[in-house]
């Protein structure tokens, strides 16, 4: 429960997505999630669901029928095969009822519910968890990435992840939206060999930061894949800029730092 938020990850381990010859790990760009925040006797839920194109309308219909709002539907990646779409959701109500609505909606997709560890022995699962946490199998100089970004990340599913909060509090419909509910900048590195890494994630920006960040990314060989909103009633109004590159990891980290320097981020 980071920041008092109950967050559930639902990685799309069933999908075999490639982009520019890179097999995308779920932790890089295929991680569905739902985050629940207590609000008195009720909860508010926000989330991001990774869906294939044929899954979109069956899931959307069930969410709408259950009273869960769709706040955005778009792509985060270019040229990926198969193409994936990202559905952002928002709801409020009794926790178990909301969870049941969300589960029924996701049942209209092939989203795994624990299936990714089915058939794995406890010993193998423990070993995999240890490897993921220590990073012993990750072909990446994470210390150099930390120095370049000025922040420390963590291992998750073979991907090095860095989260950077904005300086100001983010609110949606009057409710504070903590980092665990999607208000933080997400930067992910997936090693691709010989000191290279594929990077993906999103910058969370106010309007005046959008074009300076675009310029910083493009100047450093990082592709801008999308610019859009994730929330409907956010204050300040925020734009989410998704990015992609596959190159020398240290070079990319320096490019991402140049972009971060254009953003009002929280001080460590």
Q: Give the pLDDT confidence of 184-241 residue by residue, as tens digits.
A: 999 999 999 999 999 999 999 999 999 999 999 999 999 999 999 999 999 999 999 9
CA distance 149 to 113: 34
Whole-number mean pLDDT of the chain? 92
Range(s) within the chain of domains with CATH label 3.30.70: 2-115
Hey, what are 107's tokens? Answer: 């049942």
Contact 89, 36 (CB under 8 A): no
β 239-248/234-235 pair status: unpaired
Residue 56: closest CA among 113, 114, 106: 106
The more confidently predicted of residues 184 and 118 is 184
How confident is the model over 124-150, as a mean pLDDT? 66
How confident is the model over 154-158, as a mean pLDDT? 95
CA distance 87 to 94: 22
CA distance 49 to 58: 13
CA distance 57 to 155: 34
Buried b (16+ CB within 10 A) or exposed e, 97-121: ebbebbeebbebbebbeeeeeeeee
Residue 184: closest CA among 252, 133, 230: 230
Q: What pLDDT was estimated at residue 99?
A: 97
Q: Is the pLDDT of residue 129 over 60?
A: no
Contact 112, 10 (CB under 8 A): yes
Q: What pLDDT was estimated at residue 1?
A: 82
Q: What pLDDT was estimated at residue 132?
A: 41
Residue tagged 């709801």 (tokens) = 91
Domain 2-115 sits in CATH 3.30.70: yes
Distance of CA 151 to the CA centre of its chain: 18
CA distance 87 to 98: 17
Q: Is the pLDDT of residue 123 over 50?
A: no
Q: What pLDDT was estimated at residue 137?
A: 56
Say what the alpha-carbon torsion angle 133, 165, 247, 11 is, to the nearest 10 degrees: 50
Instruction: Label residue 253 by pLDDT band (50, 70, 90).
Output: very high
Instruction: Label residue 130 by pLDDT band (50, 70, 90).
Output: very low
Q: What pLDDT was estimated at residue 268?
A: 65
Instruction: Label residue 135 by pLDDT band (50, 70, 90).
Output: very low
Q: Is the pLDDT of residue 124 over 60?
A: no
CA distance 173 to 92: 12
Q: What pLDDT was estimated at residue 244?
A: 98
């Amino acid at each position: 429960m980071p920041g008092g938020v109950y967050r559930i990850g639902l990685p799309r381990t069933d999908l075999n997505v490639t982009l520019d010859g890179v097999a995308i790990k779920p932790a890089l760009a295929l991680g569905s999630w739902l985050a629940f925040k207590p609000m008195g006797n009720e909860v508010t839920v926000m989330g991001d669901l990774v869906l294939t194109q044929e899954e979109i309308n069956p899931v959307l219909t069930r969410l709408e029928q259950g009273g869960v709002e769709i706040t955005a539907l778009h792509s985060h990646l270019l040229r990926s095969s198969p193409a994936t779409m990202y559905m952002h959701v928002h709801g409020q109500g009794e926790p178990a009822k909301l969870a049941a609505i969300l589960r029924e909606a996701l049942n209209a997709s092939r989203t795994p519910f624990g299936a990714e560890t089915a058939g794995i022995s406890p010993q193998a699962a423990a070993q995999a968890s240890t490897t993921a946490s220590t990073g012993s199998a990750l072909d990446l100089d994470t210390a150099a990435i930390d120095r370049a970004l000025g922040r420390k990340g963590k291992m998750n599913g073979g991907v090095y992840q860095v989260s950077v909060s904005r300086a100001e509090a983010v609110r949606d419909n009057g409710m504070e939206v903590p980092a665990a509910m999607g208000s933080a900048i997400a930067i992910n590195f997936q090693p691709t060999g010989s000191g290279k890494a594929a990077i993906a994630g999103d910058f969370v920006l106010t309007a005046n930061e959008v074009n300076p960040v675009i310029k910083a990314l493009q100047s450093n060989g990082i592709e801008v894949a999308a610019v859009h909103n994730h929330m409907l009633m956010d204050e300040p109004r925020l734009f989410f800029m998704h990015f992609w590159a596959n190159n020398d990891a240290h070079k990319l980290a320096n490019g991402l730092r140049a972009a971060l320097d254009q953003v009002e981020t929280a001080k460590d």
